[in-house]
Structure 1
Amino acid sequence: MANIIKLNQENLTEIAKRIPCPTYNRNNIKTGIVHVGIGGFHRAHEAFYTDQLLHDESITDWGICGVALLDFDTKIYKTLKKQDGLYTLIIKELDGSLTKRVIGSIVECLFAPENPTMVLEKMASPDVKIITLTITEGGYNYNEATRSFDFTNPQIQYDLNHPKTPKTIFGYLTQALKLRKERGVKGCTIQSCDNIQGNGHMTKKMLLSYVQKAEPELTSWIELNVSFPNSMVDRITPATSTTDISNLKEISGIEDAWPVVCEPFKQWVIEDNFSAGRPAWQTVGAQFVQDVVPYEKMKLSLLNAGHTVLGILGALMGYDTIDQSVHNPQISEFLKNYMDVEVTPTLGHLEGVDLDSYKQSLLQRFGNIYIKDQIDRICSESSAKFPIFVLPTVYSQLKKNGSLAFASLVIAAWAIYSLGKDEHGKPLTIKDAMETTLNKKAIESKENPRAFLEIETIFGKLKDEETFVNAFTNAYKKIENNGIEKCVIELNNKSFKNK
């Protein structure tokens, strides 16, 4: 298409002739939500739901101010700022067609490292009723070994000593809530949208741990005035590729420096516990419930753990994308068996959920050949993911003397993956805050496999559970001797015989 239009507010009328755009007047929208972490998932999920809601012209109080918290986020901040907060959402349908629309719910963008005071003032604004978070599983500063807040983190130490110019989410939230209290502004809701079971409980526990050391007199005010609803979020959102950007430009004639791609499926289950009001997200597909925990556990243990299983096994076998991994019939069968044999018995009764259908839908979603979710993205920060997605299933199975074979094999495969090469000798791209420790313990595991389990911040006291240690060691040696595919086939065959 010859006539290329840059995505920004000024060009929106012209762009609307090509793809759907916000029909509401963005100038009339007030910021009622501050969101920290404006990456792809937020823009495919909460910002999408909110955009749909704002098409009701009577709703003007729930615009989003997107906050880029880290120096690493410079690029996304500059991109969104230049595009007036606008971006294109590209939904990759199962038949290969693309559903495109411009999302307009992010009406402000701030860059915390550049102007921390402005971010604190925005969070403390009386107009802001909700602060939402996508800061990744590792962003909650939780130490698995001590089951508590990690005060040894140098950035946390910095925030304690420089409260007016914080670097972490805990420093920002503490000072913003302190301002609200001092100015007589009402409390607000802090809502996690990250993949952590009891994410609201975790947010509250970690924040109060920090507050009790940083501003102890603030603790009781937070207890009375701030709510922390749990939520379960779901939409597969791979990293945007240069091909996605160029295709949008060539096919639709729209120059968007950072569109978002995602699957058609979306889900948001939220505990209805808001201190200062909330958007009517239920009118656009979100579900408000009294207890999110069963839904969270199901999703984290099946979808997120399933992604991890496909990622680690697929990486060792030399695959690049999740759909390649799930289309290997042996890996697909392994994942089915893991979900049926080890995860499902730990979930209990889920009101209104057909688990068999849900598990089948996951395989279909993982297999969407148009999503091309990169395995190195799925395996990134595995040190934060395994304790949340996989280890709860291990602990539950240990309590009931249940099967550990599938989870043990995946964890053993992770130990071998952490050596940094696949089974063909090709280097793996490992992105993990604990990469050095993982690699060191992976090397030690070549002599003594249980050395990998000595990383207490990940595995806690699991190294003392002899039943698991034996299963893990056995799995490790089998992978080392026979390769991952033969081990997967062997376990699948054993499971088939036991059915």
Structure 2
Amino acid sequence: MAIKLSLDTLDQLPDRVARPLYQRSDLSPGILHFGVGNFHRAHQAMYLDRLMNAGRAYDWALIGAGVFEGERKGREVLQKQDWLTTLVEQEADSSTARVLGSMVDYVEPADARAIVARMVQPDIRIVSLTITEGGYFLDSDDNFDPTHPMIVADAQEPETPETVFGMILLGLQARREAGLAPFTVMCCDNVPHNGDVTRRTLTGLARLSDPDFADWITENVAFPNAMVDRITPATSDRERAMLRDEFGVEDGWPVFCEDFTQWVLEDNFPLGRPPLEEAGAQFVNDVTPFEIMKLRILNGGHATIAYPGGLLDIHFVHEAMEHPLIRAFLRKLEETEIIPTVPPVPDTDTSEYFDLIERRFSNPKIGDTVRRLCLDGSNRQPKFIVPVIRDALKADKPVSGLALESALWCRYCAGKSDSGAEIAPNDPNWDALQEVALTAKDNPQAWLDQKAIYGALGQEPRFAEPFAKWLGKLWSDGTARTLTDYLEQD
């Protein structure tokens, strides 16, 4: 019988399940984190657990926080197991399980008063975020969008914020009034220049109601840039059953992920930080080359295989990689159009990096789904694909494959696969996207006229013409034939 995870049952877990080597009672908080999802627990929480197992960073334990009511369910699950998480790291020929104990509390989600009160405590020296790529209120040029309804609401009622940025502003303001130094704000999302973006959004919101406070934040608060990487699919009953059957642990919200992990950060933490380099993180003067490499080669690669996989009714990512046309499409697009836009990365061969990415995508143990990779294209495409197109065109390089990737996304958003199967809504803007995608069947330019996604790029003939050609082929010939045509061209 499987053992239900809790502090009281740690010693009863099977021997093959690693558990914390430290006493939870010895830990004290140092970081409040917004967005206690799978990636956070497989990444930041795991790095801290590594340090704690080595007898380090006991005063840097995590406190969870969340903005949305929907996060209460996850909190309830974790609370029942004393904030513990089982992390299962999987390679093609092996799996290991360990229990993470680096989180010690979780403030009630959407309770702004309680969250702000916790941020004001002197022990919180870092506030970190994993709120998804679309959570930063950016326009098509990656600038802060002051017209977003949630931003407008927080600017009009700053004392009752609904966004994470409104809550952080109240926390910083309360610390300043109390004479406490500001905490560091550390973004852990897949956003280019994520620290800079977080600063712009936070100060942009502050400037709408208190320009002087916005200036104070710019001068006094640190926002280190970082690159984060670990493939971490969503948890389903499949993963809960695998943990129960293979490892003998009953965990309401386990995390399954690949063995690979990477974290590259700027060392800008005025109130101190955990010695994360001792757990495998890398501190550099400039994160930019690392993040461009990752966002374009990995995240852009995910988009490349996602939409043809979805149109061909493929469920798992590793199954998409087993499809010869999709795998060949990925490699050709990466080698001819994506990798050439990536600047040199210290001590890194980008071709070897792509070989690693290809192996990671092919890992059959992960169980990552094509649908997850297709999710939220309206926020992901402008960050992972559109900048590559812009840079390629600036360098007078071909964009035929990138135009095909964009056409595949458009075709996917029409809502039916090649077989006629219904594609369930898979984007916060799905209804609007589907309407435009169906219009684009006869008028491809309608898709490119979405300025929030493409900006002025949609009017560029060197991109618009191959996009229209490929979209027409996808509708007339289907995904497999279109991929074949692309692979056969010089």
Q: Which TM-score bucket, shorter chain as reference?
A: over 0.9
Identity of aligned residues (%): 37
> In the aligned structure 1, how far is the partner of 2:211 from the partner of 2:273?
28
Task: Write out per-residue CA displacement over residues 439-461 of structure 1, whole angstroms, 9 at most, x where no aligned residue.
Answer: 11111112201101111111111
Q: Structure 2 residue aligned with 1:258, among 253, 262, 266?
A: 253
Structure 1: 5+ residue stretches without partners: none
Correspondences of 1:81-230 after superposition (within 5 Å): 81-95=79-93, 97-113=94-110, 115-144=111-140, 147-230=142-225
Correspondences of 1:446-485 after superposition (within 5 Å): 446-485=441-480
> In the aligned structure 1, how far is the partner of 2:327 from the partner of 2:457?
28
Contact 1:379–1:430 under 8 Å retained in 2:
no
Aligned partner of 1:349 in structure 2 is 344
Residue 242 (structure 1) aligned with residue 237 (structure 2): yes
Letter matched to residue 137 of structure 1? E
Structure 2: 5+ residue stretches without partners: none
> In the aligned structure 1, how far is the partner of 2:450 from the partner of 2:86?
41
Letter matched to residue 10 of structure 1? D
Q: Structure 2 residue aligned with 1:358, among 340, 353, 361?
A: 353
Contact 1:69–1:111 under 8 Å retained in 2:
no
Tell me the CA shift for residue 327 of structure 1: 1.0
Aligned partner of 1:63 in structure 2 is 61
Tell me the CA shift for residue 217 of structure 1: 2.3
Contact 1:155–1:167 under 8 Å retained in 2:
yes
> In the aligned structure 2, how far is the partner of 1:178 from the partner of 1:492?
56
Tell me the CA shift for residue 253 of structure 1: 2.7
Tell me the CA shift for residue 162 of structure 1: 2.9
Residue 310 (structure 1) aligned with residue 308 (structure 2): no
Aligned partner of 1:487 in structure 2 is 482
Tell me the CA shift for residue 326 of structure 1: 1.1
SS at match of 2:88: strand
Aligned partner of 1:296 in structure 2 is 291
Residue 26 (structure 1) aligned with residue 24 (structure 2): yes
Contact 2:448–2:459 under 8 Å retained in 1:
no
Correspondences of 1:11-22 after superposition (within 5 Å): 11-15=9-13, 17=15, 19-22=17-20
SS at match of 2:372: helix
Aligned partner of 2:37 in structure 1 is 39
Aligned partner of 1:283 in structure 2 is 278
> In the aligned structure 2, how far is the partner of 1:260 from the partner of 1:155?
31
> In the aligned structure 2, how far is the partner of 1:215 from the partner of 1:171?
12
Change (3 A) 1:463 1:5: same
Aligned partner of 1:330 in structure 2 is 325
Letter matched to residue 109 of structure 1? Y
> In the aligned structure 1, how far is the partner of 2:189 from the partner of 2:424?
24
Task: Write out per-residue CA displacement over residues 412-451 of structure 1, whole angstroms, 9 at most, x where no aligned residue.
Answer: 1111111101000001123211112111111111220110
TM score, norm. by length of structure 2: 0.97
Letter matched to residue 141 of structure 1? F
TM score, norm. by length of structure 1: 0.96
Tell me the CA shift for residue 338 of structure 1: 0.8
Contact 2:86–2:99 under 8 Å retained in 1:
yes
Tell me the CA shift for residue 151 of structure 1: 2.8
> In the aligned structure 1, how far is the partner of 2:168 from the partner of 2:28?
21
Letter matched to residue 481 of structure 2? K
Letter matched to residue 73 of structure 1? E
> In the aligned structure 1, how far is the partner of 2:13 from the partner of 2:61?
21
Contact 2:376–2:426 under 8 Å retained in 1:
yes
> In the aligned structure 2, how far is the partner of 1:264 from the partner of 1:50?
16
> In the aligned structure 2, how far is the partner of 1:281 from the partner of 1:16?
29
SS at match of 1:227: coil
Letter matched to residue 165 of structure 1? T
CA RMSD of aligned residues (A): 1.4
> In the aligned structure 2, how far is the partner of 1:305 from the partner of 1:430?
21
Contact 2:184–2:221 under 8 Å retained in 1:
yes
> In the aligned structure 2, how far is the partner of 1:65 from the partner of 1:430?
33
> In the aligned structure 1, how far is the partner of 2:14 from the partner of 2:454?
51
SS at match of 2:46: helix
> In the aligned structure 2, how far is the partner of 1:230 from the partner of 1:453?
31
Tell me the CA shift for residue 18 of structure 1: 5.1
